A = this chain, B = another copy of it.
Amino acid sequence: MSVAEKGPIRLGMVGGGQGAFIGAVHRIAARIDGDFTLVAGALSSDPERARASGLDLGLDPERCYESFDEMAKAEADRDDGIEAVAIVTPNHMHYPAAKAFLESGIHVICDKPLTSTLEDAEALAALANASGKLFVLTHNYSGYPMIRQAREMVANGALGTIRLVQMEYVQDWLTEDLESSGQKQAAWRTDPARSGAGGCIGDIGTHAYQLGCFVSGLTSERVLADLTSFVPGRRVDDNVSVLLRFEGGAKGMLWASQVAPGNENALTLRVYGDKGGLEWHQENPNQLWFTPFGEPKRLLTRGGAGSTPAAERVTRIPAGHPEGYLEGFATIYSEAARAIRATRSQGKAPDSVIFPGIADGLSGMRFINACIRSSSSGGTWVEP
């Protein structure tokens, strides 16, 4: 697959210091295909931890910055400055950090959800669109080959007219009051000041929604949500039930939960049309179930018989050799690399390069916002 073209792209990182989860994931993802080399970081909002984390990772001490502002300015001034930055902070810092780098002419790869408020999201979208720089949002699940294949099959009509989009993202790690225990991940994700008004809806519901839209090619026109905080004292929702109506008459349901014991990371997508159906489970991501109506169900596999071009272009190894979460995540990075390289030479990325961007981020924030509005009003239909 992806191969370095005149050497790897110089990458910086904001957030992701000692004790972080997603930062380490981004670093492996950036490394798998050899397209990026991490050369600079402002890895924590705590200056001391930021520096220590950078040294841990073997960064040049002078490129271990104490703040992202400092980093954006300093790197923009270097001949060998970073070309792209990965923003992996809690949600509320996405906007100011992204702003600083876009304004310094540096491409942005940003974790989801886009921001912690819809206002920030709209401002960032305007900024990103005007900047001329790439904005890549790591809705990593859209990097899985079989998700690419599902999307392509829907687009090619294998399912006929889409009628139903059923989305689930179910976990159990917040079944109890983990945030009070001091667990870092739980603490910021359940803190509205850092996470945004949505808890489960923003953390994982938005992944499921993005996946459903990505694969079906549909846009939702109306949503009705029932958000619940089951754990006493929790300040954000930990369970989300949503009904959706899509353009053209398709319907959908979305269930996201962090309090369903026995579910680790059960992201599931089912799409049905008048000619066939698809089913995919993130925990076994190399498989895609496809049933043309009236025929036996088929088990499509990554790299196996029945693979489509969209899957094959993001596949690294043969069928039966499972690719996982990190490879799917890496595909977002390798697509970003292709886009960055194409931008250098042609000014923009070709259509064949597919990654979630600023529009998806804004759409996700509108979805979160609409679900919260709907639920707050007792469960009514609202426009996202």
Residues in chain A within 8 A of chain B (CB atoms):
3-4, 6-7, 21, 24-25, 27-28, 31-34, 56-58, 159, 163-164, 166, 171-172, 175-176, 224, 226, 228, 230, 239, 241, 243, 245, 251, 253, 255, 257, 259-266, 270, 272-279, 282-286, 289-301, 304-306, 316-327, 378-381
Contact = CB atoms under 8 A, between A and B. Distances in A.
Closest 6 CB pairs of A and B: A265-B320, A264-B320, A262-B291, A324-B324, A261-B277, A322-B324
A175 B241 CA distance: 26
Nearest to A270: B260
Given A57-B3, A283-B286, A323 B321 contact: no
A321 to B, nearest CB: 4
Contact of A296 (B21, B25, B300, B322): B300
Given A164-B260, A243-B226, A322-B284, A7 B58 contact: yes
A282 B322 CA distance: 8
A327 B29 CA distance: 12
A324 B287 CA distance: 13
A306 B298 contact: no
Contacts of A275: 261
Nearest to A251: B228
B251 A253 contact: no
Given A3-B57, A263-B320, 14 more contacts: A25-B317, A159-B261, A163-B259, A164-B239, A164-B259, A164-B260, A175-B293, A262-B272, A264-B320, A295-B306, A296-B305, A296-B306, A322-B325, A378-B381
Main secondary structure of the interface of A (DSSP, over half): loop
Best-surrounded residue of A21, A263, A290 (most CB of chain B within 10 A): A263
A279 B21 CA distance: 30
B320 A323 contact: no
Contacts of A3: 56-57
A123 to B, nearest CB: 32
A259 B277 CA distance: 10
Contact of A317 (B274, B323, B325, B381): B325
27 contacts: A4-B58, A6-B58, A24-B316, A164-B239, A164-B259, A164-B260, A166-B255, A176-B293, A226-B245, A243-B243, A261-B272, A261-B273, A261-B291, A263-B320, A265-B320, A283-B320, A284-B284, A294-B305, A296-B298, A296-B299, A296-B300, A296-B304, A299-B299, A316-B326, A317-B326, A326-B326, A380-B380
Nearest to A22: B317
B276 A261 contact: yes
A299 B292 CA distance: 12
Contacts of A251: 226, 228, 239, 241
Nearest to A21: B318
Nearest to A284: B284
Best-surrounded residue of A7, A224, A259, A296 (most CB of chain B within 10 A): A296
Contacts of A276: 261-262
B260 A320 contact: no
